[in-house]
Amino acid sequence: MFASVVLDIATRALDGAFDYEVPRELEAECVVGATVLVSFSHREAVGYVVATSAQPPEGLNAARVLPVLRVLAPSAFDQVSARVAFWMAREYACPPCEALRPFLAPGQTVRVRRASADDPWELVCQKSGPVDERWVSLAEKGGSFSPRANAVRQRAVLQALESGPMRMAELAATLPGSTSAVAALARKGVVAVTERRRVRGGETTTLKSAVAARPEHLTQGQTEALAAIARACDAGRGDVVVVDGVTGSGKTEVYLDAIERVRAAGKGALVLVPEISLTAQTVGRFRSRFGDDVAILHSRLSAGERFDQWDMVRQGSAHVVVGARSALFAPLRDVGLIIIDEEHEWTYKQESAPRYHAREVAARMAAERGCALVLGSATPSLEALERCREGTWGGVSWTRVSMPERPGAARLPTVRVVDMTEQFSGGNRSIFSAPLAEALQDVAAKRQKAVLMLNRRGFANFLMCRECGAVPECPHCSCALTYHERTHSLVCHTCGRSWPQRAYPDPSTRCPNCGSRYLAAFGVGTQRVEDELAMLLPDDVRIIRMDADTTRGKGDHQRLLEEFDAAECAVLVGTQMIAKGLDFPEVTLVGVVNADTTLKLPDFRAAERTYDLLEQVAGRAGRGEEPGQVIVQTYWATHPAIRAVKEHDRALFVEQELAERRDGCYPPFSRLSNVVCWGRREADVRRTLDDVARRVRERVGEAAGWEVLGPTDCLKAKVKDRVRRHLLVKSPVGSEPGPLLDACVRAAAPPREVSVAVDVDAYDMM
């Protein structure tokens, strides 16, 4: 038997598979998807079997072929997945081993390594051990025990346990040296260590809305969507259905019913949701319908949990996979349906190699496996809308089904746009316009709930000198530093460095550029909104803040949502992360503090992103019996994206936006690739990228629809002391920029100190 093996050596020079002979004793294990050890140019290398055959492959000298040395891990993917991986490698210009990695078992990667050139190669298995499920709690006599004066760690452990038991792993992570302290205390009988058994990765929640009760009647939109999905499933060739349903129209119910049908036919389903809306609420809805048949995969799970969930799918004991982007690669055998919820979300594009877009890979997989693909959103991407308008795309049909209404009594909220320039000239210097302040007080008086969103992506919350206009930047990354009011510090969110800094009116403030004392905060942060809210509202209103700072820990996100759910009257303040997926029927008011910060980003998708975000967050209001109200504060009230949200009329935005994209030849009317080059020495970076650019121009020549822009400095011209330049390449829809750009980068042979990344269908152009 012979095996075709892709070596795990990530270099553009190795773009194919190599053939090896399988020794008789390994034949049973050495199947497609297995990880194997082979020798390659006088060393040992790890590789993945992508094909096997009984005959020696053509042109192979059977006498000289090397044997497979060992099988390191059982199969993680099948023949179809291997084909999809090869397509990804070509499409996204990366080596095949990089395209195969997402398909491997989480935490089970094996590599060969040697300490120095003289040492032998050794295998390093990054195997995930069992999850530490030991809990530590105070024993009865714990209260009276007092550790020796110098037993600082024991003291710290006891203090931490005062507020309740903790997991050993958590203690060890937060209190260095606590493992031995716990052991000492346990010997004295002061603390107790107990094992608690739990299915790894199985989450529970108290959220009321985490149960998907089966509705009595489906809405007309839901019935139509299900019919279209059934047709796509039966066609069996990868047809795509875009479920274009307003927020709260019951898309999840459509997914659940569609999966039920697929399960009844003995097949499984992959469901992708954006990482941030992969909350207990979402998971609970799937669990309440499919129970233990559901596997959950996302990055907040520990390595062990992720492996357990993944393995349940491989073993065939779970047939519904719900997860973030990477769940697309789960080893589900008989896939009947792939669902991507919030299809427009830009987190579906992976920003490190392989730089794939989940929508495109899913479409390819669906075609390869002959199953249906469902894309759901209240604001479908312009790509999806345009393909549906065309009707067929990539050889399969693209159908849009609209669900314009919410079921039952729920109505779409009314949207009010407040022009903040008018507020300012009218003398209002507060974060809250008069209408928003009144509406918040009204919510407090009626004992209801509100959600306040701060559009933080962009340049909000930095310091700016009112005299010379200087904005403190990170000297290593050339990007504006974020000001943290409570800790009086400037933080670089690119490299994580921070500096102490006080802002005006503190007397010690000095502008780093001109020495002026008017270095003041510009834009607002969630903390400031929280503070001002506390002043505006009576004390008995719960204010819950949700942003990157308050959701660091594993369960924080869910805990805050549960608090909001349980509160009688509350305001949830947060960044973009609160815009998606939350379903709280008691929310009657949604406020957007600053709608337009994302409009000003230098990115052709800026308006689309702003529109999506506003429409999503507006959708959090009025999901119950009480009517909802949305108040949007903006300095740009006439922008089509803002007007479209106000009028609940997507056409106001989409038509103008599509016309502009067509004129400028931007996606969806072209493909846009970004070639980024970075390194410590600017001269090297320039030389390398200039060389790549020259080769691309040579190859492209006068070809219609191709355009090469640059090279120029990236907007983030320096990150972690690396100089960054880039080249933008536009090509026609249906062209294949991947192989061309890959060939040009290879031919330019970048020196060791310079990195080049090819990002096909780029989303992040900064």
* Binding region for Zn ion (CB under 5 A): 465, 467-468, 470, 474, 476-477, 492, 494-495, 511, 513-514, 516
Q: Of 102 and 250, which CB lies nearer to ligand ADP in the complex structure?
A: 250
252 binds ligand ADP (CB under 6 A): yes
Q: What number of other Cβ atoms are within 10 A of residue 259's Cβ?
A: 28
Say how many residues touch ligand ADP, by CB under 6 A. 16
| 233 annotated among ligand-binding-site residues | no
177-186 long-range Cβ contacts below 8 angstroms, 24+ apart: 177/153, 178/153, 180/153, 181/151, 181/153, 181/154, 181/156, 181/157, 182/136, 182/157, 184/151, 184/154, 185/147, 185/154, 185/157, 185/158
CA-nearest of 273, 306, 203 to 582 is 273
CA dist., res. 647 & res. 757, Å (int): 42
Hey, what's the torsion of the CAs at 60, 63, 65, 68, to 10 degrees?
130
Among 308, 583, 615, 742, binds ligand ADP (CB under 6 A): 583
For residues 753 and 679, the answer to whether their CB atoms sit within 8 Å is yes
Residue keyed to tokens 């055959």: 53
Binding site annotation covers 495? yes
**What is the CA angle 228-229-234, rounded to 5?**
100
Question: Where do we find the tokens 């609420």?
Answer: 281
Of residues 370 and 407, the one with the C-beta less far from ligand ADP: 407
Q: How far is the CB of 338 from ligand ADP (least distance, A)?
A: 17
Which of 238, 250, 323, 737 binds ligand ADP (CB under 6 A)? It is 250
Q: Name the minimum Å distance from CB 158 to Zn ion.
A: 39
Of 253, 343, 586, 612, which lies in the binding site for ligand ADP, with binding defined by CB under 6 A? 253
- Fill in the per-residue mask, 219 to 238: x = in contact with ligand ADP (CB under 6 A), - = not in contact: x--x----------------
- Closest residue to ligand ADP using C-beta atoms: 250
Instruction: Give me the least distance between CB of 472 and Zn ion, in Å please.
Output: 10
Distance CA 598, CA 618 (A): 16
Please tell me whether 677 is known to bind a ligand: no
407: DSSP letter: S
Of 490, 481, 479, the closest CA to residue 724 belongs to: 479
Is residue 248 involved in binding ligand ADP (CB under 6 A)? yes
**Pairing, β 2-7 against β 43-53:** antiparallel
Options 216-224, 344-352, 513-521, 658-666: segment touching ligand ADP (CB under 6 A): 216-224
- Residue from 251, 344, 661, 722 that binds ligand ADP (CB under 6 A)? 251
Question: Nearest distance from residue 344's CB to ligand ADP, in Å?
Answer: 13
Nearer to ligand ADP, 619 or 738 (CB): 619
| 468 is annotated as contributing to ligand binding | yes
* Annotated binding residue 388: no
With contacts defined by CB under 6 A, name the span among 246-254, 347-355, 520-528, 702-710 that binds ligand ADP.
Answer: 246-254
As measured in angstroms, the least distance from the Cβ of 550 to ligand ADP is 24
Beta bridge partners of 49: 5
Place of tokens 């349906």: 337
Q: H or E stretch including 73?
A: strand 70-73
Q: Give the nearest distance from C-beta 429 to Zn ion in angstroms.
A: 22
Q: Answer with the entry of ligand ADP, Zn ion, none that 253 interacts with (C-beta below 5 to 8 A by kind).
A: ligand ADP
Burial pattern 572-610, b for ≥16 Cβ within 10 A else e, equals bbbbbbbbbbbbbbbbbbbbbbbbbbbbebeeebbbbbb
Partner in contact with 578, chosen from ligand ADP, Zn ion, none, beta carbon below 5 to 8 Å by kind: none
Is 94 one of the annotated binding-site residues?
Answer: no
The minimum distance between CB 50 and ligand ADP, in angstroms, equals: 38
Q: Which is nearer to Zn ion, 152 or 468 (CB)?
A: 468
| Binding region for ligand ADP (CB under 6 A) out of 47-55, 240-248, 483-491, 520-528 | 240-248
Structure tokens at 309: 């969930």
Alpha-carbon dihedral 534, 537, 539, 544, rounded to 10 degrees: -50
Residue 203 vs 253, nearer CB to ligand ADP: 253
Is 326 one of the binding residues for ligand ADP (CB under 6 A)? Answer: no
CB 561 within 8 Å of CB 279: yes
Q: Where are the extended beta strands (E) located within 480-600?
A: 482-484, 489-491, 498-500, 519-522, 542-546, 570-574, 587-592
Applying CB under 6 A, which part among 98-106, 117-125, 211-219, 301-309 lies near ligand ADP? Answer: 211-219
Considering only residues 4, 128, 178, 247, which one is a binding residue for ligand ADP as defined by CB under 6 A? Answer: 247
Q: Which amino acid is at 743?
A: A
CB 382 within 8 A of CB 296: no
Q: Which residues are known binding-site members for Zn(2+)?
A: 465, 468, 474, 477, 492, 495, 511, 514
Q: Which residues of this protein are in contact with ligand ADP, per CB under 6 A?
A: 215, 217-219, 222, 245, 247-253, 407-408, 583
Q: Which residues are known binding-site members?
A: 465, 468, 474, 477, 492, 495, 511, 514
